[in-house]
Each structure stands twice: as C-alpha cells, then as structure tokens.
Structure 1
Amino acid sequence: MTQRPAYLHWLDKAAITLSGFCVVHCVATIVLIGTLTSLGHFFANPLIHEIGLLCATLLGAVALGSGIMRHRRTLPVFIGVPGLALMAAALFAPHGYGEALLTILGVSLVAGAHMMNARTC
C-alpha cells in the first residue's frame, strides 16, 4: 500500500470540516427560522423597542457623563449628546422607518462617543 501525499490528508480534513459546517448551517437555519417565526410577534412589539431604547439612552448618558468626569475631555460628549437626542426623538416617533432611522443614527453616534471614552480612559 502506498502512502498518500500530505496535501490529500489536508484536503480530506478540510472537506470533513466543510461538511460539518454545512450540517450546522442547515440545522441552525431551521431552528433559527422556526424560533424567529414563533417569536416574531414578540420582537415586533413596539414596547420592547421603547423599553430597550429608553434603557440604552439612560445608560449612554450616565456612561458619557462619568467619562467626562474622569478624563475631562469634551469631544465624546459633543458626539454623544446629539446621538442621545436622536435616540430620545426615536422614543416619540411613530413606529416605522423614521423611528428606525433616528435610532440607527443615534446609536451610531453614541457608540462612537463610547469608543472615544474607552480609549481616553
């Protein structure tokens, strides 16, 4: 019996790994779609978004405030406060595209401000 070249052994391992990923992907897709379908009404509930956005706005304000108290740099606040204002505006916007746009823009600004805070501290 002749010995196989080393690259063929590597190809077999790669093929087995890829087959395993395929099985995981198929099972995970079925489970995920089934779960999201049955929980879709929960995630689409505007109250879930409002509570989450309110908590994120309050936590963001506290974190930005404590950051400026520690490092005395105002740039994160100048970026974060408009983001918090957009997030707060999203709380009062009708549920839909406008609310989503306000939320995404606001969260993006606040996330950038938090990254500045983290680097400065």
Structure 2
Amino acid sequence: MASGTSSLRLRLDRLGVLLSALCAVHCVAGVIIVAVLGLGGGLLLSPEIHRFGLVLATIIAALAIGLGTMHHRRRGPLFVATTGLGCMAFALFVGHGVEEAVLTVAGVFLVAVGHMLNLRKA
C-alpha cells in the first residue's frame, strides 16, 4: 500500500476513535442534562444530530477500516465496527432516553474498538 494511503488511513482511524469518544460523551451528557436539569432536550437529543453522526461514522469507518482490511487482510476490525454501526443505526429507531443512549454508546464503543484494531494492524 502506498505511504500516502496508509497515512490517510491512520489519520481516519484516529479521527474515528476521537469522534466515537465525542459521541459517547454527547449521549451520556445529553441524557443526564435532560433528565436531571430538564434542559436542552430539543437540541441535545435531536434525531438530526444522531443521523448526521451515523453518516459521518459510516463514511470514516468505510474508508479507514475498508482500506485497512484491504491492506492487512484481517476482517476482525471490519466485523467489530460494522456491528457498532448496526447498534448506532438501531438506536435511531428506539425512543429517546436510556435505550437510545445505551445502544449508541455501545455502538460507538464498538466502532472505536474497530478503529483501534485497525490501527494495531497498521
């Protein structure tokens, strides 16, 4: 694999881990702030934010983990990240609240693990 492609993949994997962490913080903080303080429900728990996050996570994972899988020929990172994206997608279909937060946090955790596994195979 060309050095430029490998470097891009590494940066995308790191960005994927960072975005996963930010998403998890958003979900947990959003539920806590809305539940405890009753503030920001319209903005923090907006379905548009979650849809945008899922699209962004899917694009980054497809590029980074797809390139990684072609390079190292191991499907583990792809399987883990795809499972995480599935959890995140399923979270869009449950009501706002704990169920959505649990599915989303589990999903972003799995996507982050997929990116980290991909980084280890670099």
Answer whether TM exceeds 0.5 for this pair.
Answer: yes
Aligned pairs (5 A) from 1:57-76: 57-76=58-77
Residue 69 and residue 107 in structure 1: after superposition, are their counterparts in 2 closer, same or farther (change >3 A)? same
Opposite residue 119 of structure 1, the aligned amino acid is R
Q: Which protein has greater RCO, CA pairs closer than 8 Å, 6+ apart?
A: 2
Q: Is contact 1:54-1:91 (8 Å) kept?
A: no
Residue 43 and residue 106 in structure 1: after superposition, are their counterparts in 2 closer, same or farther (change >3 A)? same
Give the equivalent residue in structure 2 for 1:52: 53
Give the equivalent residue in structure 1 for 2:114: 113
TM score, norm. by length of structure 1: 0.58
- Pairs aligned (count): 84
Percent identity of paired positions between Structure 1 and Structure 2: 49
Residue 58 and residue 95 in structure 1: after superposition, are their counterparts in 2 closer, same or farther (change >3 A)? farther
Determine the C-alpha separation between the residues in 1 that align with 2:96 and 2:65. 27
Runs of 5+ unmatched residues, structure 2: 1-36
Runs of 5+ unmatched residues, structure 1: 1-36
Post-superposition Cα deviations, 1:14-45, rounded to whole Å, max 9, x if no partner, equal xxxxxxxxxxxxxxxxxxxxxxx9x9353343
Larger Rg: 1
TM score, norm. by length of structure 2: 0.58
Which shows bigger deviation, 100-109 or 89-98?
A: 89-98
The Cα RMSD (Å) is 2.2
Q: Is contact 2:54-2:85 (8 Å) kept?
A: no
Q: Is contact 1:76-1:117 (8 Å) kept?
A: yes
